[in-house]
Amino acid sequence: MKQALTALAALAATALGACTQQRQPGTDVEQRIDSLMAQMTIEEKVALCHAQSKFTSPGVPRLGVPELHYSDGPHGVRAEINWDDWGYAGWSNDSCTAFPALTALASTFNPELSFAYGDALGEESLYRGKDVILGPGVNIYRTPLNGRNFEYMGEDPYLASVMVVPYVKGVQRHGVATSVKHFALNNQELWRGHINVEVSDRALREIYLPAFRAAVVEGGAWTVMGAYNKLRGQHCCHNELLINKILKGEWAFDGAVITDWGGAHDTREAALNGLDIEMGSWTNGLTSSMALAYDNYYLARPYLDALRKGELPMSTLDDKVRRILRLMFRTSMSRRTHGIMGGARHSATARAVANEGIVLLKNSGGFFPLDTTTQMTIAVIGQNATRCMTLSGGSSELKARYEVSPLDGIRAQFPQARVVYSMGYAGGPSAYGREIPSPLDADSLLQAAVETARTADVVIFVGGLNKSHLQDCEAGDRVSLGLPFGQDRLIGELKAANPRLGVVLVSGNAVAMPWVDSVDGIVQAWYLGSEAGHAIADVLSGRVNPSGKLPISFPVALTDVGAHSFGPIAYPGDSINEKYLEDILVGYRWHDTRNIRPLFAFGHGLSYTTFALTDISLQSAQCTAAQTIRLTARLTNTGSRSGAEVVQVYVGKPDSKVTRAAKELKAFGKYRLDAGQSATVSIELPAERLAYFDEGSQQWTVEPGAYDIMVGTASDNIADTLRVDIR
């Protein structure tokens, strides 16, 4: 049977069930909203629809309606920003727990941990007096060059859908709204403010919208943040198709739509196409602003004037105000506790997520784990072993209460070892929107690192990207798949100096690895927040048996990625338009369908134990589109230590009448087993998940016929394939 993976997860599962129906609007609330609206002037109503400072929007003081307070925060509550400029306020009580970035959370394949994560984030948001936390991000990982991929939940829409729902519920149980972002197709930072995306209806519905739908329909998200870019010629923050037809129409979203900061561009479109709250206009996202511009926002005085002249219907305003008041009754006007900032429990949650999110990519000859009882010299090489990663990255940067570096974590968990450090390479200081080179001499750093490695018993290189401009950072994309700052050369020199070499990669994106065959072990560590060093050392030492799985594909070369296979018009576009020519074949769907071998496949992740997946069977080889496919398998821990494995179920449709990916993830479960233990795994797969979006009928359709049900532990590691017939 499925096992609870941690005590945190068990507690979270209980709370998850308890909170599902909390804070939903009832008749009484709607009546109170009616009463308030009847007493409000048109000026007071319009004021609710736009900001009054960088991170607040007004209430109605005359009627006791409080303002709304917002904060950036996909993986932690951002430090306080000044009222009317982008500087930090310098408070002494606005530090936070830095939780792992969402790529790491997705890598856990553990929805219970996602709830624990959201629960802790909600408590910290409440302590800081926030009503809306600007996250989570669920844009699909289309290209490894996207600067904000580290804020998102990977390349697969089903995985992102499963993981986002408990996050939303965990946060909102505290009366703090999530703002699911960026709706939609914000899949690059280059030209993000104006690039026009052309995408098929199938790709939009099957790849880019499912996680948003899950957050709204299943998670009950109270706000959604629009994206900067355009879809089919219209900005996403006031896009008729996205907001009116899909979000508020088909999905019956009853919350508020918020702009990304500076995402509004037109009063009439904003009024008619479903935008409710306009934030950050006349900024470029961070650095510039019109002083006290709030009355000039598109949904401020220009909107008021148009309403008074009868140029825009009053019904648009009343709908916005009703949604905003509903948001207030759920948050600032609800009964809430005082929240909790930091503490041992939040640190434990951050560490648990980091532990399960780390992915062991390669482990030749059992290189990892390293023996903590041996008196040896460990050479730790690389700037990322000491660089602060909670700062920078753009709007998601954090003022963490503390951050344990990989070097400090290794020193703490290897007390018998002599741990020596050399920087090896240097990126410049953290910066947003500009690249600052390091003043240090690269050759001198390399030579010093090689000499340090030469006399060590083992070398651990800690490198990757660094959340600065043109790395993993908002407002700019990466310029290549390769590692920056001469790291590839350094790894080669280290290997020549000492054959016992392991690599720890800190990044939110896939990177090229021309040295992959020469190193003994590779750990993908992501950005792990406050507990980064402890979590990395947990895995390197074997205190924790790694169980993370890749939520993205690692390509061998950039040309192996679907978005980069059709020339510049597919990525990054011509600066005006961009066409998603790979269509539904994103990530592993592209690799598997086009028979392109990845460097490391989606769903891949090794363990310090071994598992066998056997006796896979279907309850029935036939079912209808309204029924559920049920399968069982025997999962056995055949190794010498306890560990966790993710059983992944993929589906393909031979001889389909429409283009299909060779396989698509449609179910998964994570199971912990002791050494030698076996368990029967039962997985249910509703047949409706096999539907494709029919562009002709504009309906989801389950095509009758034979389907291949592929069960394994990675997209490229299928243990058995069964066939079911949908009638």
- Positions annotated as catalytic residues are 260
Angstrom distance (rounded) from CA 695 to CA 675: 50
37's CB contacts (< 8 A; 6+ apart) are 45, 318, 321, 322, 325
User: How does 309-341 read in b/e, with b if 16+ C-beta sit within 10 Å?
Assistant: eeebeeebbeebbbbbbbbbbbbbbeeeeebbb
Bridge partner list, 50: 278
572's CB contacts (< 8 A; 6+ apart) are 188, 190, 191, 195, 477, 578
53's CB contacts (< 8 A; 6+ apart) are 83, 84, 294
Q: Which of 699, 572, 627 is nearest to 206 (CA)?
A: 699
Q: Which of 378, 364, 362, 367 is nearest to 413 (CA)?
A: 378
DSSP string, 273-328: TT--BB--TT-SSSS---TT-GGGSTTSHHHHHHHHTTSS-HHHHHHHHHHHHHHH
Torsion of CA 53, 56, 58, 62, to 10 degrees: -110
Taken as a whole, the chain contains a residue count of 727
Angstrom distance (rounded) from CA 173 to CA 619: 37
Q: Collapsing DSSP states into helix, strand and coil, what is residue 436?
A: coil
The sign one gets for the Cα dihedral 589, 595, 598, 601 is positive
Angstrom distance (rounded) from CA 218 to CA 20: 9
- Rounded (5°) CA angle 609-613-615: 150
Cβ(277)–Cβ(57) below 8 Å: yes
Token output for 299: 């949904």
Q: Collapsing DSSP states into helix, strand and coil, what is residue 252?
A: coil
Q: Which helix (H) or strand (E) holds 447?
A: helix 442-454
Angstrom distance (rounded) from CA 366 to CA 356: 19
**Helix-strand-coil split of the chain, %, nearest 5:** 30, 20, 50
Q: DSSP label at 329?
A: H
Token output for 273: 């196409």
Angstrom distance (rounded) from CA 27 to CA 31: 6
Angstrom distance (rounded) from CA 286 to CA 301: 24
